[in-house]
Amino acid sequence: MLQTRNTQRFVAVSRVSDEGALLRFGAELSVVWVNPSRSVWMVGLGVCAEGGGDVRLPVAPPAGPWFGGWAFDAQRGWPGFDQERWVLPEVLAWWNGRQTSWLAFGPEGTPLDELERKLDAVQEQEPITSRAPVRRLGNGRADYEALVSKAVGALGPELSKLVVARTIEVESDVAIPERVVLKALEARNPQCWTFLIRGRDGSAFVGSSPELLCEASGRAFSTDAVAGTAPADRSEQLLASEKDRREHQAVVDDLRARLDGFVTKLDVPATPQLKRLASIVHLHTPITATLRDGQSALEVARALHPTAAVAGAPRTTSLEWLRANEGFSRGWYCGAVGAVGAESVTLAVGLRSALLRGNRATVFVGAGVVRGSTPESEWLETERKAETMLAALGVDRG
């Protein structure tokens, strides 16, 4: 549960319909949280209440869920995005595969007819059937390969892994349609967590993450070690790769160490399995545990973040190196995004993502650098990872 010194209470009215095309509704989306493989489809409109790390779920229903998360590194933020922010939408809709449920929230004391009018005001948007071309601006290969070379040179007894990232800028002649991007991400990645988090300045952080930072219900807790990447048709080579297995093991070891003291009955499989996505495959070790009595799942998630999968190992040394050398603000890229309810927490790592601002988008990709990494191989890995978002944005691959 989110922590606070104050308790807010809310009232709500609900409504049920047969409508399932949630992305067609509302003037502006404030949050989106979708995973078809888990039968999760939720969108939020407007903001009823918000807070940072000091907000708490109400003690009485309706409790939410609240949506949000936090940045990768407090020292490298984005304009319009707090270091940590949680939002209770004014209107929340979710689809269970058969029907849509709508809730309008208001602070305690809000007249119920006012909440009914909020639901009445939600209108279906005309679907976009065509869009303007989106152009990739520049290449950036030489700079990224130089950064990887520098990272390889920094490795040693006190720094075993660095996760170095880069940006890809794209542009259209008109505003990039967020809903079309989100629908494309959902369709291409039905087993991933597709999300939108709205910034205070109107920009949108969107993505489709294959990696869980934290999933908890009651005392049951799970997290993912995802590291080691190959093209989708080279899964056997990935399993046999000593370099990728070593990179993956660094993440497993980091998570195991950070969970110590927070959990019992820790289950860490001895060997990784494969996580297959649309165009790439990852090494994946699902980790499960039981939270100790009185332990907050969010507190554990904060202790895990940022993992060795997105920063490096050891954490403090990696973050210091990245701040000094990476050259851009990661903001919420590689941060935590997700939903927190009265009895459950689900947070994904903000990967396969982009920041949309009008007719421009910044796409974020990164790769883990360990002994045996080469600038060319890490460049190619980031290009493969970028395919998901670039395709959803409609960037011409030619």
CA distance 51 to 301: 18
The alpha-helical segments, DSSP class H, found in 49-98 are none
* Of 298, 218, 225, 229, nearest in space to 257 by CA: 225
Task: Give the other-Cβ count within 10 Å of 373's Cβ.
Answer: 22
d(CA 379, CA 140): 10
> Nearest CA to 95 among 11, 34, 28, 185?
34
Nearest to 371 by CA among 160, 144, 228: 160
Q: Which residues contact 156 (CB under 8 A, 6 or more apart)?
A: none
87 touches 365 (CB < 8 A):
no
Cβ proximity of 337 and 195 under 8 Å: yes
Region class of 310: left (phi > 0), else alpha (psi between -120 and 50), else beta: alpha
In eight-state DSSP terms, residue 277 is -
Q: Give Cα separations from 58 to 3, 237, 304 (angstroms).
A: 11, 50, 26
Interatomic CA distance for residues 255 and 334, integer angstroms: 16
DSSP character string of 189-231: -TTSEEEEEE-TTS-EEEEEE--EEEEEETTEEEEEEEEEEEE
- Torsional sign, CA 190, 255, 365, 66: positive
**Contact call for residues 91 and 117 (beta carbons, < 8 A):** no
Provide the token pair at 270: 């001895």
Cis amide leading into 65 (omega within 30): yes
- Positions marked active-site: 161, 211
CB count in 10 Å sphere of residue 361? 27
